[in-house]
Amino acid sequence: MVRVRLQDVAARAGVSVKTVSNVVNGYRHVAPDTRARVQLVLDEMGYRPNLAARNLRAGRTGVIALALPDLDNPYFAELTGSVVRAAEKHGLTVLVDQTEGLRDRELEVVEGFRNHLIDGLVMSPMALRAKDLTGRAAVDIPVVLLGEKFGAGAVDHVAIDNVAAAEAATAHLVALGRTRIAVVGDQPGSRRRSGVAHLRRQGWERALTAAGLDVDERLVAPVPAFDRQHGAAAVAALLDDGARPDALFCFNDTLAIGALRLLADRGIDVPGDVAVIGIDDVAEGRFAVPTLSTVAPDKAGIARTAVAMLAERLDPASEQRPPRDVRAGFELVARESTLGRSASAVSAVRAAAAVPPPRGTAR
């Protein structure tokens, strides 16, 4: 209940503060009986090191921040869980920042308003621009970007190959004989060529072209945000506009869930009338009715890789290598929303891309 300092323990044990410190830190040269006596007093008094002081001294805190748009999005929630678990293995703890995808909030994070409180940053940017990371006020700590990427590789980056993932999803629909494949989730406002929406759209186009199908702009449904609500609204708009899709490729599972819901409202059979596929493989999709086909990124791998890369840069012993750009693996998981009731969660395609664990990765 009371705070106990090294000094208090030292006084009671009749030794110097440093000796107690040595015992606490398992320093080698401490006489066995001294160690035992000090340890006894430590336990008795319930000593806990003051991490603030330790951090000041050491110049590191053992805390990393995870900045992402929104925990309400199940993909980010699941990813956060994985990051927290991965960080644990490196002795790091995670501080969560919700940026709401707002540029100001993202800038704040990057400009280090948590200065010297965090050792590193894992961030899933939405609105940041390249120069934001290089400006004079910018980060002085290692950063790993997830998903979205921008500018030349100034920092580490982990993501699946979005174009390939989207292509795989679309190709799956094509293979099922669908010809009017709509996309849900375009973000035409965003000029960002590296944006997730842009890349996934690119994959869709590529798959269509490969299959000899036309790219029909009327089959492109834009959304203001990647959530269930807007997924449903976008599909409603699509249908009301008279586009008659026989399949929907949604840019993420959350949009797809919204789509499934709207199709149910309209009495449209999935996959009979319209097949649906998403990306992310959130747990929700595995239990949806019908179960949702999806492209499953290796979330645990992404988290592990991101944290490992950060940990490596935090380690003063390891020489600094240039920023890396890691492609995480993904896997097409076909379920009822494309295969129908006969589906038994077949892994149809396995992504070739592997996650090369960075050197020094724990486990």
Q: Which residues bind its own copies (CB under 8 A)?
A: 1-3, 46, 48-53, 55-56, 61, 63, 70-72, 74, 77-78, 80-81, 84-85, 93-98, 112-117, 136-138, 140, 228, 232, 257-258, 260-261, 264, 283-284, 286-289, 291
Judged by CB under 7 A, does residue 28 bind DNA? Answer: yes
Distance of CA 101 to the CA centre of its chain: 14
Query: Shortest distance, CB of residue 233 to its own copies, whole angstroms?
Result: 12
* Residue 16 interacts with which of DNA, its own copies, none, CB < 5 to 8 Å by class: DNA
79, 302 contact by CB (below 8 A): yes
- Orientation of helix 253-265 relative to helix 74-89, angle to 10°: 150
Segment contacting DNA (CB under 7 A): 2-10, 151-159, 175-183, 228-236? 2-10
Q: How far is CA 276 from CA 249, 262, 270, 273, in A?
A: 6, 12, 7, 10
Q: Minimum distance from CB of 318 to DNA (Å)?
A: 19
By beta-carbon proximity to its own copies, the closer residue of 264 and 314 is 264
Beta-bridge partner residues of 64: 94, 120
> At its nearest, how many Å lie between its own copies and the CB of residue 331?
19
Pick the binder of DNA from 1, 3, 26, 140 (CB under 7 A).
3
316 binds DNA per the rule CB under 7 A: no
Q: Choose between 54 and 359: whose C-beta lies nearer to DNA.
A: 54
Give one DSSP letter per residue of 262-321, joined into a string.
HHHHTT--TTTT-EEEEES--HHHHTSSSPPEEEEE-HHHHHHHHHHHHHHHH-TTSPPP
Task: Give the total residue count for the chain.
Answer: 363
Pairwise CA distance, residues 70 & 98, whole Å: 6
112 binds, among its own copies, DNA, none (CB under 5 to 8 A by kind): its own copies
Query: What CA–CA distance (Å, rounded) separates 357 from 363?
Result: 9
Local structure of 226: helix, strand or coil:
coil
Among 21, 179, 202, 229, binds DNA (CB under 7 A): 21
Q: What is the torsional sign of CA 199, 201, 204, 210?
A: negative
Of 20-28, 160-168, 230-238, 324-332: span binding DNA (CB under 7 A): 20-28
* Under rule CB under 7 A, residue 317 binds DNA: no
Q: Spell out the alpha helix ranges (H) of the chain.
A: 6-13, 17-24, 32-45, 51-58, 74-89, 103-110, 162-175, 196-210, 228-240, 253-265, 283-286, 299-314, 336-339
- Binding mask 37-56 toward DNA (x if CB under 7 A, else -) reads ----------x-xx--xx-x
- Tally of CB atoms within 10 A around 328: 26
| Residue 219 touches DNA, criterion: CB under 7 A | no
Q: Is the preceding peptide bond at 290 cis, omega within 30 degrees of 0?
A: yes
Q: Is residue 31 within the footprint of DNA (CB under 7 A)? A: yes
Taking CB under 7 A as the binding criterion, the range among 3-11, 192-200, 266-274, 321-329 that sits at the site for DNA is 3-11
28 binds, among its own copies, DNA, none (CB under 5 to 8 A by kind): DNA
- Interface residues with DNA (CB under 7 A) are 3, 5-7, 15-19, 21-22, 24-25, 27-32, 34-35, 47, 49-50, 53-54, 56-59
